[in-house]
A = this chain, B = another copy of it.
Amino acid sequence: MADDFSVTPYDVAGTVDYDRLVEKFGITPIDAQLESRIKRIAGEVHPLIRRKIFFAHRDLNWLLDQYEKGNKFYIYTGIAPSGGMTIGHLVPFMMTQWLQEKFGAEVYIQIPDEEKFLTKRDPKLTLERIHELAYADALNIMALGFDPNKTKIFFNTDYAGKLYRQAVRVSKHITFSIVKDAFGFTNETNVGALFYTSMQAVPAFMRSVELGKNVPCLIPLAVDQDVHFRVARNAIEKLGYYKPAIMHAKFLPGLKGGAKMSASDPNNTVYLDDQPEVISRKINKAITGQQATAELQKKFGGDPDRCSVCQYYKYLFEPDDEKLEAIFNAEREGTMLAGEHKAALAKRINSFLEEHRKKKEAVRPHLEDYILRE
């Protein structure tokens, strides 16, 4: 039976059935046992794992085996700029920052400033424009509390002197057939887009190249990005490196619901750079799981799973499980109406972003120190 949703790095459409996705992608749910193992090693477990937002993985048990044998892993993640950074982008980066802290991991952050140029038709999305966005993203990322001594960021077009040679090695093991099937490319897809997945693969073994020995790698990502690594993991193994382990996150829903908050759809998206009044206005228009009128809502209650406001709390803005449960219950039982519900969230987001802006200003003078160039 054909699925009524689609998940690739270039198209997320329909209502994503994550259980079905696990089967389709051949990935493994993060179960109670694995969660306990993480908790045992890390001393605690992050809400993003506990709440099954990071819901699946590849080879995470192997990675922890290596870790417990004293073979530390490094972490690789990234972001491809097409618009400003959104609160949805916080999910993998917050996870990464926590993992760095708990496991003492080096972090490599790739900002592929060519990807959206190659895969989108928007004429305003020039390489120069994306490079500006990339720089702004780097600042937003470093403000999240990454360890300055263990974190490196690089933009692909600036760092190609290091990346291209390794990408060539990867690319020899990836055919047109493979990327056609994996990404839904056609004969009319440009050759830069066809090649690109090889560039995204490199940081997953780059530290092994640098150190001259095999180092395990963990990649926390939004699940649409798994496609790149389904392709790349085989190529990386053929080159003699460990296949990277992966942790997969669900998508943060858009303001109007839908599969995914997208940086290229401003009306559906909260950007980290949005001003407080913009945030309040946007959140006020967000979809909730509530009934059509206040009266009906009081009578029948709402559905927090269909409510973007509830979901933003769950993903990002209410780490306390009991408080989150209270919010969900209020929605379910109709005791909290949409207006106050939204106003409270907007306040919470604005307070987070006010703090975030301060952290950005503190990082700004040092940002160049974290950026790898030729």
Contacts and interface: CB of A to CB of B under 8 A. Distances in A.
Given A127-B165, A157-B164, A164-B160, A192 B171 contact: yes
Interface stretch (A35-43, A183-191, A307-315): A183-191
A192 B176 contact: no
A363 interface: no
Interface stretch (A62-70, A193-201, A292-300, A318-326): A193-201
Interface in A90-119: 114, 117-118
Q: How often does this chain occur in the complex, in copies?
A: 2
Nearest to A194: B191
B173 A190 contact: yes
Contacts of A195: 171, 191-192, 194-195
Contacts of A136: none
A72 interface: no
Contact of A189 (B175, B188, B193): B175
A242 interface: no
B374 A172 contact: no
Interface residues of A, number: 40
Interface string A149-162: 00000001111111
A168 B192 contact: yes
A371 interface: no
Contacts of A144: none
Interface of A: 114, 117-118, 127, 156-165, 167-169, 171-177, 179-180, 185-195, 197-198, 374
What 10 A-B pairs are tightest by C-beta distance, nearest first? A161-B161, A171-B192, A160-B164, A195-B195, A374-B374, A157-B165, A177-B187, A161-B374, A114-B168, A160-B160
